[in-house]
Structure 1
Amino acid sequence: MVSFDQKVHTFIDQHELIQKGDRLLIGCSGGIDSMGLLHYLMDIRKKIEIEIFVAHVDHMLRGKVSLEDRIFVENFCKDNGITVFSTSIPIPKLLEEEGGNSQAVCRRERYGYFAKVMEENSIQKLVTAHHADDQLESILMSITKTGSLSGLKGMYAMRNFTFGTIVRPFLSVTKDEIREYLESKGGTYREDSSNAKDDYTRNRFRHNIIPLMKNENIHVPKNAVQLAQQLQEDDDYLFTLAKGEFPQVVTKVGDDSFLLDIPSLKKEPVSLQRRIILILLNYLYNNSEFSNSETIVRSIQNLSNTQQGNSTVHLPNQLVAHRKYSEILFEKMEDVNIHSVKLLHFNEWNDLESGICVYIGDASNVTKSKRLDCCLEYYCSSNNFKAPFCVRTRKDGDRIHLKGMESPKRLSRLFIDEKVPLKDRDHWPLLVDADDNIMAVIGIRENQNISKIQHAQDDIKIVIEYNNIYGKKIFN
């Protein structure tokens, strides 16, 4: 039987995660996983001649208890002669100011602190205790949320970070194996009480889904690691091919401008088309959160497939994509065109040129109000409406499925019935999905599959806010 140490050592060698002379920063919460990682690296540091440091972040979500976690980690490091960097970040205050997903905000702030420590202390690698069970959970969560290949690839054993790289030497072992290892070392740890709650998506998978899968096959977490690695290898190879074809499809025409040739894109296999667009996004957004956005990729694919000779899509960060027959020009937005399409970024507030603010995202997210005069809130299911979502103005033939009607109603008839002034009809904002289904004529009527009450199957929340001045003009 292969020992825990041998499994981890083999995985580290296979992926070349740690080399002689490395300076490693261990992200340590004080829980079983990170304390197991700390003990493991303490055991091997002299053998392979590495330096280890520890970083801990108190998110201040559990008051005195989370402060005690910080003290626990600090005392352990002090007792074992390990340099520790620790801080407390007021996540509750940030959530009050920003809204959003608490786990996402925690992760952003935590990794931001890690990067700062690494840069200030010339530490090349951040080591985290993600394990095989984490990999399985991440893949299942991705399937549930978006079904993107990026999510199916799970976590890489090594990836680039803001400063240096992140390495995950425990991906080959399970949480139970880490627990057994830590107990064999006589190690202690802190238990985070929030891990027992089903408030977070990951916890619901961990408590309810994963046990069922393990009942079928106890090795399912390791199967997930193997699947992820195979997908990563295949995807990396396809990206290499896409990079070779990229210059034939996309041309840089200015400092922030690129021209995509649609016929050249269409000549490539679909698998390369998507990756060519992702490479373009990397140039446009310089490795920001939008560089790997499935929503933006699909919007560009839709734009390249449209039959209209001229069309425009607004992208995040004041970028705009203009299609003119066989080409798409990507450039910084200058003049706002009220007839153009506005792509909505998922899980974020989107400010429309018309003065409306729209949030569309996971129904479980806490949304911080924009504090405008009026607020409309709706729910729907991703089974009925598909991302990406956009706001556009009307076009010929538009219809909407309304409650209580057997057939969809023409938008032109709806405007007449609702006494919308003729001068406003061509500018009225419509919320639509990827299949161009009208979800709402904003401020007037909603699709039959959208409700003000959240039902069990509803996993998408829509919040629309606007000021009374605008409401008097367009909603009344």
Structure 2
Amino acid sequence: MSLELKVKLFIEKEQLLQQDDHLLVAVSGGVDSMALLHYFVKAKGQWGITVEAIHVDHMLRGEESAEDRAFVQKYCDEHGVYLHAKAIPIPEIMALENGNTQLICRRERYQYFKEVMQKTNASKLVTAHHADDQLESVLMALTKNATINSMQGIRSQRFFKGKSLIRPFLTVTKSEIREYLLKQGLDYREDASNSKDTYVRNRFRHHVVPLLEAENPRVTEQVTHFTKQLQEDDAYLMTLAEDVFSRTVKRIAGNTYSMEIEAFQLVPLALQRRLILILLNYIYKDSNTIQSYALLTSISKLCDTIAGNAEVHLPEGFIAVRRYGKLMIQKKDPLEGQASLEKKIIATANGWTTLANGERLCVVKLPDLSSEMLTDTAQIFYFNASKLKLPLYVRVRKEGDRMLLKGMDQPKRLSRLFIDEKIPLNERNSWPLLISQYDEVVAVIGVRMGMLFSTTPQPNDDTVLIVD
């Protein structure tokens, strides 16, 4: 079967193209991308599409990489294709960041792709990944990070900045691509770095893949079928997992999620792993972080039991905490261990004060209390303003805080109160406390009120605290 027919059938099966698509074909000048561009130049009438090309000079090989751009420009001029091109000073960026060359190149290259797609309103970015790339990707994943996602290899299409990225050559091999280009009588540029073993992919390409092909010349085709089956199976299991996720995991606020561990344990293991992957997808943008086997395993182990308390520190300042049979993932409190002691004044003239946790407080004189001020969830606490002088304040806890409770001769340490009331450890340093003018704790909002408050009015009570 010819390359043209294989690619056509693959595009139809995967539904990669639609009538009137505006394609932006990424072209380096190498054999793969030149064949890709030429295929679409020839087939654009057949598909009813618009084709433009985009090229990035990473400025890593001096005059040689500048010649790559000139080579691509010459082809585009001869075939009536508009070329978007840019030279990006990768050596300068590397000097500033001291990062990984390939990662920096990829980041800058795709940022430029994004800019051009937005400017031209192109519907799809097209890259020349092929079946050999698929084989190499699976082998690399197997030896480095064999997770559910990574073993599925390269996908034929994915979302890219609100548009699509498609890979129509994913079903053809490197040798088929080279043979196609030679038959078309076209030349290409050879990147000298491809022959070096500096990069991991090159080492697999030069040393591992030939051994596998010696055992089975069709190994690339076999791996293509294997990844496709994995992708299809995973898509079905993810549909089931998303349904379970919606019933099991609660989003509290922002990037804070919680779930009952016992409910999680009732879910089959295959779905448990995917529940965690869905959660990581909500929290992180970096695919390497999401696909980390160590991260997946550490969170799974937290859910092995509901006994005891434990926590795992995650990337980017997140923390996974097991407390009282519940798993919670949230941003670690940056002030943990040195909680801010800044006071927030509580208004004294019928004004509402909203706290960081969403609770609202209002202090009113008892004669001014009206039903219009109360919601179905409001709590009312009465007190005597001569014993608890206004205004009141709110702050978080500090070392040694205590509170006097009704029926007790001595004030109770807040650290003990938080334990008794089963307040999660990671929330204690930010829990709002109601404070008197003398910096004494008179209430732990939403947990316990001190001895100066009562839920029914006493003879001398003249003021009300509303908590909603």
Per the TM superposition, whether the score is higher than 0.5 is yes
Alignment of 1:374-413 (within 5 A): none
Give deviations 1:287-342, integer Å, cap 9, x for gaps. 7764444333222112223676222222223222221031112222224557xxxx
Aligned AA (1:228) = T
Counterpart in the other structure of 2:465? none
Counterpart in the other structure of 1:264? 263
Give SS of 1:53's match.
Answer: strand
Alignment of 1:278-427 (within 5 A): 278-285=277-284, 290-305=289-304, 309-335=308-334
Looking at structure 2, the residues matched to 40 and 160 of structure 1 have their Cα atoms a distance apart, in angstroms, of 23
Aligned AA (2:22) = R
Are positions 1:114 and 2:113 aligned together?
yes
Q: Would the aligned equivalents of 1:115 and 1:163 in 2 still touch at CA under 8 Å?
A: no
Looking at structure 1, the residues matched to 335 and 237 of structure 2 have their Cα atoms a distance apart, in angstroms, of 37
Looking at structure 2, the residues matched to 194 and 172 of structure 1 have their Cα atoms a distance apart, in angstroms, of 25
Q: CA RMSD in A?
A: 1.9
Give SS of 1:118's match.
Answer: helix
Are positions 1:20 and 2:19 aligned together?
yes
Give SS of 1:86's match.
Answer: strand
Q: How far 1:192 sits from its partner (Å)?
A: 0.3
Q: How far 1:260 sits from its partner (Å)?
A: 1.7
Which sections of structure 1, spanning at least 5 residues, go unmatched?
339-476
Q: Would the aligned equivalents of 1:282 and 1:292 in 2 still touch at CA under 8 Å?
A: no
Counterpart in the other structure of 2:44? 45
Give deviations 1:382-422, integer Å, cap 9, x for gaps. xxxxxxxxxxxxxxxxxxxxxxxxxxxxxxxxxxxxxxxxx
Give SS of 1:142's match.
Answer: helix
Q: Would the aligned equivalents of 1:30 and 1:190 in 2 still touch at CA under 8 Å?
A: yes
Q: Which runs of 4+ in 1 moved over 3 A?
A: 286-295, 335-338
The change in CA–CA distance for 1:286 and 1:208 in structure 2 (over 3 A counts) is closer
Aligned AA (1:230) = Q
Looking at structure 2, the residues matched to 257 and 212 of structure 1 have their Cα atoms a distance apart, in angstroms, of 48
Q: TM-score of the superposition, structure 1-length normalised?
A: 0.68
The change in CA–CA distance for 1:143 and 1:288 in structure 2 (over 3 A counts) is closer
Identical positions, percent: 45
The change in CA–CA distance for 1:142 and 1:153 in structure 2 (over 3 A counts) is same
Aligned AA (1:184) = K
Q: Would the aligned equivalents of 2:138 and 2:151 in 1 still touch at CA under 8 Å?
A: yes
The change in CA–CA distance for 1:4 and 1:63 in structure 2 (over 3 A counts) is same
Q: Would the aligned equivalents of 2:249 and 2:259 in 1 still touch at CA under 8 Å?
A: yes
Q: Would the aligned equivalents of 1:252 and 1:259 in 2 still touch at CA under 8 Å?
A: yes
Are positions 1:202 and 2:201 aligned together?
yes
Which sections of structure 2, spanning at least 5 residues, go unmatched?
338-468
Q: TM-score of the superposition, structure 2-length normalised?
A: 0.69
Looking at structure 1, the residues matched to 266 and 4 of structure 2 have their Cα atoms a distance apart, in angstroms, of 50
Q: Would the aligned equivalents of 1:30 and 1:69 in 2 still touch at CA under 8 Å?
A: yes
Counterpart in the other structure of 1:67? 66
Give SS of 2:44's match.
Answer: helix
Give deviations 1:252-287, integer Å, cap 9, x for gaps. 122332112111111111110011111112222367
Count residues with an aligned counterpart. 338
Q: Would the aligned equivalents of 1:22 and 1:50 in 2 still touch at CA under 8 Å?
A: yes
Give SS of 2:169's match.
Answer: coil
Q: Would the aligned equivalents of 1:124 and 1:163 in 2 still touch at CA under 8 Å?
A: no
Larger radius of gyration: 2
Counterpart in the other structure of 2:6? 7
Give deviations 1:225-260, integer Å, cap 9, x for gaps. 111100000111110000010123211122332112
The change in CA–CA distance for 1:335 and 1:7 in structure 2 (over 3 A counts) is closer
Aligned AA (2:258) = L
Give SS of 2:316's match.
Answer: coil
Q: Would the aligned equivalents of 1:20 and 1:49 in 2 still touch at CA under 8 Å?
A: yes
91-100 vs 206-215, which moves further = 91-100
Q: How far 1:159 sits from its partner (Å)?
A: 1.1
Aligned AA (1:236) = A
Looking at structure 2, the residues matched to 53 and 105 of structure 1 have their Cα atoms a distance apart, in angstroms, of 25
